[in-house]
Amino acid sequence: MTRYLIRLALITGAFYFIFPMIPGMHFHGNFIHTLLAGVLFVFLGWVVESIAIALTALLAIGTLGVALIVLIPLWILGFWLLPALVLKFVADLMPATLSFTGWEPAIWGGLIMLLIGIVTSGKVHKRFIRTRTEATD
Q: What are the boundaries of each domain within the chain? A: 2-136
Q: What does the pLDDT look like over 79-130, one tens digit per residue?
A: 788 899 999 999 999 999 999 999 999 999 999 999 998 888 876 656 666 6
Stated as kind and residue range, the H or E segment containing 26 is: strand 25-27
The stretch 35-56 carries a mean pLDDT of: 91
User: What letter represents residue 105's amino acid?
Assistant: P
Q: What is the pTM of this model?
A: 0.80
Identify the pLDDT of residue 31. Answer: 87
Q: Is residue 40 pLDDT above 90, yes or no?
A: yes
